[in-house]
Structure 1
């Protein structure tokens, strides 16, 4: 090899970008270019949706910085919240408490903690992410309360993450596993207790965190920008597709949902509402299958759940009021028609929506129809 040729030109380029400031310029330019997703021709162009779009990009950036910079060390992993009340992705479930920890598939890990009292607790090992060209966040292993998560007499849990089988609670991982995603699903946030969890890498042998590696940081910041772009593009594409069939709730492509990090115990429906001020969308399920939970929610165009902390924008198995025949009717409108299970569009004449069956023993497709508010009672 000639003396002038570096053994690692990619590392040399990254270090040069750090030193010159080009890395920061590149990062800012990438975020600026991602703004074109908010200006897409088919997206609503009113001030509310436009402002929500810009806020959405700031939220995605916060999530990505946690994911790729602050919590990225697989040797010293910690759980953080990749979607929550003020940072939302892809029709985030208002009943869920999401957690995620970055790991390295070359090593073994242990999760310990208390089970809590949430209705459903699920763990998924994932490979890939929205920052990659194909946008896939593939599930490579799953363990949950629906499929036999073991809890001791004191309510404690221990889970081993490894490539080799392990006795007790075992979450399989592969060499290309990058993270573990946790879904804690409430029926009633006011009365149920979340699981308290921590994660550690096994066989670390007393190692301490190393100082920040400039070359690694360049990769992390570039991944941050790529994640914001990939996520914004992916779900803007989804919303564009849903908009073609307004006020319906077709079943999603379940296999595709799994490729994007969906829970294998969940059956998903996605749709788009578009209502005049004097109209309501009525969603009905004529029977409720035996299930861990079900829910329906409203989102904005960018597929962020609407403000569920203070407004009724979703309903679930526990909070719903049922018809005498055991079915359920949900009403979506801008004004309260005085009906059970009314959901407030919070000033949005249009947006996306989602319905889920969680751990259901069979699938019952919901029906949708648009009616005048004056027809409701």
Structure 2
């Protein structure tokens, strides 16, 4: 191509005009369906239907992130994961936002703190559509922010140090991730945030064939890569089904997890007359929760049903301990987590900034046995 005097932009234009870029996008989406038949995946019509819906959700998220909001010179904070786009054991207590950034530029976030319990900002290498990990390059949380008396604040995001509220980047940084965590979603208000590029050299660009081709490629890579990655995780979790072992902290951080959170990921499976009982005494901590997911590591429908429990919503025993019951039918006990017609799936327990990290104890019992324990 170089000998013929063609630039990469010329090549991208030719691939767009010929339809090759679109055909490859569609081919990768088609190939992503293989993750639904990865070894260990459930093959029931119900689970497969949820799996294909999952792929459509990932596609929707990718197109928004990598086609609509892909220019780091005009970043937009948007919700890539929410009530109807889910991935990687998304937290029902979280209000996730993300924006495309560049370590070569500088940005300003303006915000109103409001009443949500936990707020954090992280810069990371790469982005969700590139595959591989997303190592952190900077982090600042709400307790570290200087907030004005009226609740307002500003954060500078840059690769060079800055006085005041500063979120570090490196030249390789490509993604901003904002996590806001509710204790009481019904009554707390998330922080109101805007982001702008303040670098004098940054100029928003009109759409080019190369930009569209890259957006389509990143979207299809996200759909294929994320679905396969979490199918592999779920398969591995089956080796310790119905228990909650500690998840490797380095692995979670490399995948974009919050470094202040300790995770316990696993698989669950219950017969119609069985219940999974989880017992633990929470230590002093900023937050904790437990959630139930489908096999594809999507949180279940937390908008309409109780599929998770947290520090605020849990019922505690007199000694400060908590008993969580996962069951298909109502056991008549507090902290009942519904399975919503799922026979199996994945699950996650989190400690957020906890003084200690006690191991949650788990056991599988019949519903009759559980009722006898309560009455005894």
TM-score range, shorter chain: over 0.9
Q: Secondary structure at the match of 1:137?
A: coil
Q: Secondary structure at the match of 1:292?
A: strand
Q: Map 1:61-100 to 2 at 5 A.
A: 61-100=59-98
The answer (yes or no) to whether the contact 1:57–1:232 under 8 Å persists in 2 is yes
Tell me by how many angstroms 1:145 deviates.
2.1
Q: Secondary structure at the match of 1:221?
A: helix
In the superposition, relative to structure 1, how do residues 3 and 282 fare at CA in structure 2: closer, same or farther (>3 Å)? closer
The alignment status of 1:5 with 2:4, answered yes or no, reads: yes
The answer (yes or no) to whether the contact 1:75–1:204 under 8 Å persists in 2 is no
Tell me by how many angstroms 1:358 deviates.
0.6
Normalised by the length of structure 1, the TM-score is 0.96
Aligned match of 2:245: 250
Q: Distance in 2 between matches of 1:47 and 1:97?
A: 31
For 1:9-62, what per-residue CA distance to the aligned partner results, in whole angstroms no more than 9, with x for missing partners? x33332211010111111111100110111224100111100000000000001
Q: Distance in 2 between matches of 1:150 and 1:45?
A: 51
Gaps of 5+ in 2: none
Q: Secondary structure at the match of 1:122?
A: strand
Q: Distance in 2 between matches of 1:153 and 1:245?
A: 49
User: For 2:139, which of 142, 162, 184 is the aligned residue?
Assistant: 142
For 1:131-152, what per-residue CA distance to the aligned partner results, in whole angstroms no more than 9, with x for missing partners? 335x101111100024x12211
The answer (yes or no) to whether the contact 2:127–2:175 under 8 Å persists in 1 is no
For 1:47-98, what per-residue CA distance to the aligned partner results, in whole angstroms no more than 9, with x for missing partners? 1100000000000001111111101111111100010000001000000000
User: For 1:23, which of 10, 21, 24 is the aligned residue?
Assistant: 21
Tell me by how many angstroms 1:327 deviates.
0.9
Q: Secondary structure at the match of 2:285?
A: coil
In the superposition, relative to structure 1, how do residues 3 and 246 fare at CA in structure 2: closer, same or farther (>3 Å)? closer
Gaps of 5+ in 1: none
Q: Distance in 1 between matches of 2:262 and 2:226?
A: 22
Aligned match of 2:217: 222
Q: Secondary structure at the match of 1:362?
A: coil
In the superposition, relative to structure 1, how do residues 6 and 117 fare at CA in structure 2: closer, same or farther (>3 Å)? same
Q: Distance in 2 between matches of 1:244 and 1:334?
A: 22
The alignment status of 1:281 with 2:276, answered yes or no, reads: yes
Q: Secondary structure at the match of 1:298?
A: strand
Q: Distance in 2 between matches of 1:12 and 1:236?
A: 38
Aligned match of 1:239: 234
The alignment status of 1:297 with 2:295, answered yes or no, reads: no
Pairs aligned (count): 371
Q: CA RMSD in A?
A: 1.5
Normalised by the length of structure 2, the TM-score is 0.96
